[in-house]
Amino acid sequence: METLFEYTRGMLPVETSYCPGCTHGIAHRIIMEVLDESGKLGSTIGVAPVGCSILAHQFMNVDMCEAAHGRAPAVATGIRRVHPDATIFTYQGDGDLASIGTAEIIHAAHRGEKFCTFFINNAIYGMTGGQMAPTTLIGQKSTTTSGGRQEAVSGKPIRMSEMISTIDGAVYVERVSLDSPANIRKAKKAVERAFRVQEMKLGFAFVELLSTCPTNWGLNPVDSLKWLKDNMIPYYPLGMIKCPEEVK
């Protein structure tokens, strides 16, 4: 009998600890599926910093290294220096990458580091209690902006993909979303392209994945998907921003 669907070998057979409706698990799976399907599980090293992403090592069936808050790109750079042939990725949230680790991600891109970064943008700090992140939308409420984010006080949300795409060393930049089956399939294709860029040693690869945080948004799982579609995608447009001809 033909197998149509099975548990990927890239994910460990354990129960998730993520909140109901959180799309971290979907991001985990598509990254691990790509590594499994390309035969790279045994040669991959992932780096996860502080935040909800710190739990990735409990679920991803590859070698993992934890990093200080925001410092995953620096750790991945060190790993690349001593493991030139390994497949390396960082898995980071928006509070981590777009705030505490801004310097690290910008300079990793500037150096054209040969690893992939998967950036989970849920427009809020998750694990630390739902505070405003650099990606929090105007008017969006958080534990530190009870009346909603104000542009006059906090400025506009940072579009990290657009910023990184201006750097020469960042050769592949794409923003995808995890709000629907169709967009999840597109997200997996983006992950495949990112790892292909790394395999070809073309430069730094960056994939932003718009994600949900029902708990800190104060929404149920279904409504959080609709909120992402109606509010995040208009401000963070989906699509390929930069890509080498070799991997299109």
Say if residue 7's pLDDT is above 90: no
Quick check: is 11 in a domain? no
- Would you say residue 10 lies in a domain? no
Q: Is residue 75 part of a domain?
A: yes
Amino acid at the residue 40: K
Whether 132 maps to a domain, the answer reads: yes
pLDDT tens digit sequence for 100-150? 999 999 999 999 999 999 999 999 999 888 999 999 999 999 999 999 999
Total number of domains in the chain: 1
Within a domain: 214: yes
70 domain-assigned:
yes
Rg (CA), the chain: 17
Sign of CA dihedral 145, 150, 153, 156: positive
In whole angstroms, give the CA distance from residue 177 to residue 193.
Answer: 16
The helix/strand count (H/E) of the chain reads as 10, 7
Is residue 33 a part of any domain in this protein?
A: yes
Query: 65: helix, coil or strand?
Result: strand
Which CATH number goes with the domain that contains 167?
3.40.50.970
pLDDT band at 87 (very low <50, low <70, confident <90, very high): very high
Range of the domain at 156: 24-247
Residue 100 lies in a domain: yes
Is 248's pLDDT higher than 90? no
Buried b (16+ CB within 10 A) or exposed e, 54-73: bbbbebbbbbbbbbebbbbb
Q: pLDDT for 146-194, tens place per residue?
A: 999 999 999 999 999 999 999 999 999 999 999 999 999 999 999 999 9
